[in-house]
Structure 1
């Protein structure tokens, strides 16, 4: 594929988990990828190197997703390196957990800053700068529907992500840019495992008829569909959770 027609994906939170799986999956489809991270530079470099080792093109970029100037620089870098951006996969986020009655308000504010403001900032930039034929893919969570205790602040933030996703899809009428959200269920990522006992992990895995946790690659397959052939899928939330209930 020539440089003139090679598509470009910017993936936030691509140093691990679903973000990294998406970077590797889209690279396998021929995308050049921008591996964004906020923390964990070494892991981001490893993700980019994995893409290069497989024959793809990748660069690494750092930035606080809730900082509009920092993220504008990430978009600038993508355009300098690869000539433009076709797909945004917004996988960056935080997930502290606690019962609502016990959640410190500063923790609540941090979750909303990263997950809600961060999505607004990054989607706003993408809406202004993606090329025609592009796709914006936000990461939500099946927790917006599962009503799992201790996830109140996080699920609230992802409910906002879904609302922004559906509205932006309609605001981009005539631009040939799709906007969708992927809402994974319990998925075997470092973010998921943090602070959980084996008993809790096993219980959450049992929620699906398939009796296992999702893998990052499960979500990445759906993201690749939305980034590529899924052009008639627009303004939707896709629950990628193996039937969790």
Structure 2
């Protein structure tokens, strides 16, 4: 039976200072969830709005409890401390959201080795290590979920060759998640991925995917948050090992009018900019 609320549930999320991660956190907070954020943004970024501390304040204002954990998902000690700290503060962990991700769409000959390593370390290794560290505690949850913000595996030349380094990193997140779903299904731990059909109005879209033109044809982060919310309410033993699409999840929940999610109100459905990998 599908749960009706995330009230009292505890989420540990990588990243979440802004954008999609924060939107997911705020949606859960509206139910009264506990949310721990593991992120590096201790001080303001010169070009990006929000820190882990301002995010925690917004979570509390939305009705949730918040724990800001300054750390790096690339650092195993930071991951261990985040898991222990979250359990100590809230008494357990019910949900892991692998939100932290680095994007670089450079072609192979232009991609700097350090950037390749950064994407692998945060997107793939970070997803694996944070999820791994939480599994012993997730086993004790009534409805444990791992949710990774990554795309379905689409091994066509179009996406394998578009930006090989970034494609590897995002598909790696998905493969980790599907592997966890298979490995821990007998423990009742769900592991799924979630990806949008259209671009989402975030700093990444503004700075890397086309600027104001694409931003105007994107949807707000709230559409991702509402879909994530629906996934996390589902029975973990029955809803796992899936590469989910935001709009399909909402349709299954009976939400078919998506006009309210347009970053620019009134933008027609057929003018929305398609996201990558689909």
1:223 to 214, 228, 237: 228
- The answer on whether the counterparts of 1:143 and 1:151 sit within 8 Å (CA) in structure 2 is no
1:125 to 112, 124, 133: 133
Deviation at 1:32, TM superposition (A): 0.9
Residues 114-193 of structure 1: matches in 2 within 5 Å?
A: 114-130=122-138, 131-132=140-141, 133-141=143-151, 147=159, 151-184=163-196, 185-193=198-206
- The answer on whether the counterparts of 2:178 and 2:241 sit within 8 Å (CA) in structure 1 is yes
- The answer on whether the counterparts of 1:100 and 1:150 sit within 8 Å (CA) in structure 2 is no
Q: How far, CA to CA, are the matches of 2:161 and 2:185 in structure 1?
A: 38
Q: How far, CA to CA, are the matches of 1:19 and 1:230 in structure 2?
A: 22
Deviation at 1:25, TM superposition (A): 0.6
| Regions of 4+ moved over 4 Å | 142-146
Q: Name the structure 1 match of 2:53.
A: 45
Relative to structure 1, the CA distance from residue 54 to residue 240 in structure 2 (aligned partners, 3 Å threshold; closer, same or farther) is closer
Relative to structure 1, the CA distance from residue 212 to residue 144 in structure 2 (aligned partners, 3 Å threshold; closer, same or farther) is farther
Q: Which runs of 5+ in 2 are unaligned?
A: 1-6, 45-50, 248-271
Residues 70-89 of structure 1: matches in 2 within 5 Å?
A: 70-89=78-97
Q: How far, CA to CA, are the matches of 1:72 and 1:115 in structure 2?
A: 18
Q: Name the structure 1 match of 2:267.
A: none
Q: What per-residue deviation string (whole Å, max 9, x for no partner) do you get for residues 172-222 of structure 1?
A: 122121100112342111123224553xx53x56xxxxx831321111111
Give the SS at the match of 2:89.
Answer: helix
Q: Which runs of 5+ in 1 are unaligned?
A: 206-210
Relative to structure 1, the CA distance from residue 143 to residue 214 in structure 2 (aligned partners, 3 Å threshold; closer, same or farther) is farther
* RMSD, aligned α-carbons: 2.5
Q: Name the structure 2 match of 1:208.
A: none
